[in-house]
Amino acid sequence: MSAIERLQALRGLARDAGLDAFVGVSTSYHNFLDPDPVLVATGCKPVGLSAFVLDGQGLLKVLVTPAWDVERMRRAVPDASIQGVDDIPGALASLLSSSKHIGIAGLGNLPFRMAARIRTAVSARSIDGDEMLRLAGNIDTAHRRAAAVKAVQIAETAYDHLLAIARPGMRERELAAELHVIARSLGADDNFMLINGSQHGRGITVAGDRSLERGDVLVVEITPSVEGQFVQLPRTAVFGEPSKQLVSDFAMLRRASLAGIEAAKPGAKVSWMADVMNRVLAEAGYGDYCKAPYMRVRGHGMGNIANQPGDVTSDNQGEIKEGMIFVIHPEQYLPTVGYVLVGEPVRIDARGAVPLTSRPGQLDVIGA
């Protein structure tokens, strides 16, 4: 993915903060809930511990491990200076020896001792740069929008494949393998996925060895990435005719999802969006279940490039802004039917939240 606009934004943010160097360090873990600093600045996913340095003249230097990854990074980022190193903290200390005001992003994800070495080298001259990295990552570009749309198309195609092949007796891990193959074949560069079925689920987990049965409620989160832009598709299906209670509870959660989408407008607080969804559940008699351990969040940002607005919770006082791409999902455990997934990936434009899916999620029936 082109990182030109993000890099320009990062240069401006660093200049406005009075910095003469900005550093981002990546573990290459690629957590879909967090931005990857090197990916944000270069558009290229590192395969090992890596870092970038944006100096006072705006020139980009990238330090990579293992050293054999230098050629790949040079092809991806031809305008940057790429160097293979064995010791990232030591190389950073050398590069930053003359810098007086430094912003650093990504230290919180490093192993403790490694982060401590970097902090020791620059502590008196550095500030936390994580928020600047997030702001740069959230720049709304045509490239990022196109990647998100393609990722959603991949997720929907994978889910349609699930509906076509899932059957009682199939193991969860077999179904997960099928979806991974589909996602990769369609162009996903990563695919985080949770999937499991049960008669009364208490959560959602990675696929296991359990054989699916008639009457199971199957919950799945398909989370593919295209050029570093993740999206998430939360869906629920049932093997055989659903109970009236499941139909009713799913419809209630669907109303909560729609209320959250309607509330997600530029300038609104993230907490307001969460409260609106919680209110729908409270009115249905499930107010006591709008908290841990019955649910985690009502949605969340999507790294590896940007994770704004963060977790959709009642205590997140952040502001919803145009260009944000995240998932809204009032999914949770209900005492009547177990764990149910409902929600949509959205993008915020001037009007509000626009679902990126071609059709809203519904309670799908397999083999009725």
Q: What is the DSSP string of 51-117?
A: EEEEETT--EEEEESSGGGHHHHHHH-TTSEEEE-S-HHHHHHHHTTT-SSEEEESGGGS-HHHHHH
pLDDT in tens, 279-335: 999 999 999 999 999 999 999 998 778 888 999 999 999 999 999 999 999 999 999
**CATH of span 142-366:** 3.90.230.10
Cα dihedral: 130, 131, 137, 141 (round 10)? -170
pLDDT at residue 73 in the model:
94
Calculate mean pLDDT across residues 86-92.
92
In this structure, the strands spanning 102-105 and 353-355 are unpaired
pLDDT in tens, 284-293: 999 999 999 9
- Residue ranges of alpha helices (H) inside the chain are 4-16, 37-42, 70-76, 88-95, 112-122, 130-137, 142-165, 172-185, 244-263, 270-283
Beta pairing partners, 224: 191
Mean pLDDT of the chain: 94
pLDDT at residue 50 in the model:
95
Q: What is the DSSP letter of 214?
A: T
**87: which 2 tokens?**
């010791």
**pLDDT over threshold 60, residue 182:** yes
pLDDT at residue 46 in the model:
92
Give the C-alpha separation, 40 to 306, whole Å: 8
**pLDDT over threshold 90, residue 126:** no
| Local structure of 364: helix, strand or coil | strand
Residue 94 CB partners (closer than 8 Å, separation 6+): none
pLDDT at residue 121 in the model:
81
Cα dihedral 53, 128, 2, 230 sign:
positive
Residue 282 CB partners (closer than 8 Å, separation 6+): 290
pLDDT at residue 298 in the model:
98
Give the C-alpha separation, 5 to 143, whole Å: 10
pLDDT at residue 368 in the model:
58
Report the topology of domain 4-137: Creatine Amidinohydrolase; Chain A, domain 1 (3.40.350)
Quick one: residue 94, left, alpha or beta (phi over 0 = left, psi -120 to 50 = alpha)? alpha
pLDDT in tens, 223-261: 999 988 999 999 999 999 999 999 999 999 999 999 999
pLDDT in tens, 35-82: 899 999 999 999 999 999 999 888 999 999 999 999 999 999 999 999
**pLDDT over threshold 60, residue 1:** no
**236: which 2 tokens?**
């629920």
Q: Which of 85-89, 123-127, 301-305, 324-328 has the weakest average pLDDT? A: 123-127
| Local structure of 250: helix, strand or coil | helix
pLDDT at residue 305 in the model:
84
For the chain, what are the domain ranges? 4-137, 142-366
Residue 351 CB partners (closer than 8 Å, separation 6+): 265
